[in-house]
Structure 1
Amino acid sequence: MHGSAWPPPRLEVPGLLLRRWSQDDAELLQDAVSESHERLREWMPWAREAPSLEKQRAYLQTAVRTWADGVDYGYGMFDPGETAVLGSVAMHARLGPGALEIGYWVHSAHTRRGLASTATALVTDVAFALPGIERTEIHCDPANIASAGVPRVLGYRLDRVQDRDPALFGEPGREMVWVMSRDAYKGSEAWRRAHAHRVR
């Protein structure tokens, strides 16, 4: 969908590495999801069942394939030594042409460190470097104050609150839709944070 342009497989700033998922990451991912499960299950449909190594392997297999297919671009958040998964951030091509949806979660032991906002700023910058992308969106539950704080602080605009898709979430509910347009991006807080430390 993006021609010959692809997101970089690694994004690195002081204290945080974003790296394209590998099937070799299953054990580190299982540790992170297990340790964060109580909190994740409140907001993430995929976390409602107990985590297992087999589920992480299946997820990573899908993540590798969907990146290659240009459908989803999922990054693991790692410490600089790649000894632990700190969370995940992804760009999903499910909004139709010209748009990507960004989603994220952070290990419960590493919240309130700015990891989600830093990672989201970095992938927002990556998204607008791809040809044809004119907007990015972040969808989150209005009750998830921490998650909603990420697009708010990065300069995303709250476009609407709508019914969420039960097919994706398994139950009805509401979601906030935050939008960043290509025109609004340069000079935004997301742009500033992405360029404060040049991505390598």
Structure 2
Amino acid sequence: MSAISIRPYDPADAPALHEAALESAREVYPWLPWCHPGYTLEEARSWIASQVVERERGSAYEFAVFDETGRFLGGCGLNGINGVHRFANLGYWIRSSAAGRGLTDQAVRALATWAFAGTDLERLEIVTAVGNTRSQRVAEKAGARREGILRARLLVHGHPHDAVMYSIVRADRTPA
């Protein structure tokens, strides 16, 4: 199995993000509307710049995912952070040419490890559209627990979709 690494996005990652998004738009766009066929390099630059600000505020932590050769594979991150109840949304995507090799669930596990070691979060939530079975498989392979279906939980392309809720909690990852 290939090894992956994650690190915070850097402005120099914009061309690789742009390339991977264009490669993957057909598969990713139905679930993540930002990854559209006309995605531009300027959109990648702007998004990365916004994530630097979000990280400084502690409101989101987005990471680029790389293989052992340094090739950009996709992203994973924490957003929607609730500081009062100490939970966050955990999201992920992988470029199409790297899909199906177990790399995304490795990235999710690496991000969860980082989150529980580097923040006071107690709970990570993975919310995926009911029809997005590939994302559900990633969550399950990464060790997330399926909790149920949430009605009209996601808006995708402006339309409500039911979602499957998964969680990874600190107590499940630390010895008793």
1:92 aligns with 2:92: no
In the alignment, the residues of structure 2 paired with residue 170 and residue 145 of structure 1 have an alpha-carbon distance, to the nearest angstrom, of: 20
Distance 1:26 1:154, change over 3 A: closer
1:109 aligns with 2:109: no
Identity %: 26
In the alignment, the residues of structure 1 paired with residue 127 and residue 81 of structure 2 have an alpha-carbon distance, to the nearest angstrom, of: 12
1:23 positional shift? 1.0
Distance 1:169 1:184, change over 3 A: farther
**Structure 1 SS opposite 2:44:** helix
TM-score, normalised to structure 1's length? 0.79
Whether contact under 8 Å (1:100, 1:127) holds in the other structure is no
In the alignment, the residues of structure 2 paired with residue 132 and residue 186 of structure 1 have an alpha-carbon distance, to the nearest angstrom, of: 13
In the alignment, the residues of structure 2 paired with residue 131 and residue 25 of structure 1 have an alpha-carbon distance, to the nearest angstrom, of: 25
Aligned counterpart in structure 1 of residue 144 of structure 2, from 143, 156, 160: 156
Structure 1: segments with no counterpart, 5+ residues? 1-12, 188-200
Structure 2: segments with no counterpart, 5+ residues? none
Whether contact under 8 Å (1:139, 1:175) holds in the other structure is yes
Q: Which residue of 1 aligns with 2:8?
A: 20
Q: Larger % of strand: which? A: 2
Q: Paired residues, what number?
A: 173
**Structure 2 SS opposite 1:87:** strand
TM-score, normalised to structure 2's length? 0.89
1:75-131 CA-to-partner distances (Å, cap 9, x unmatched) read 11123343x321101011434531121100000000111111001001111111134
In the alignment, the residues of structure 1 paired with residue 137 and residue 35 of structure 2 have an alpha-carbon distance, to the nearest angstrom, of: 21
Q: CA RMSD in A?
A: 2.0
In the alignment, the residues of structure 2 paired with residue 14 and residue 33 of structure 1 have an alpha-carbon distance, to the nearest angstrom, of: 21
Whether contact under 8 Å (2:25, 2:37) holds in the other structure is no
Aligned partner of 1:87: which letter? G
In the alignment, the residues of structure 2 paired with residue 72 and residue 141 of structure 1 have an alpha-carbon distance, to the nearest angstrom, of: 21
**Structure 2 SS opposite 1:136:** strand
1:174 aligns with 2:162: yes
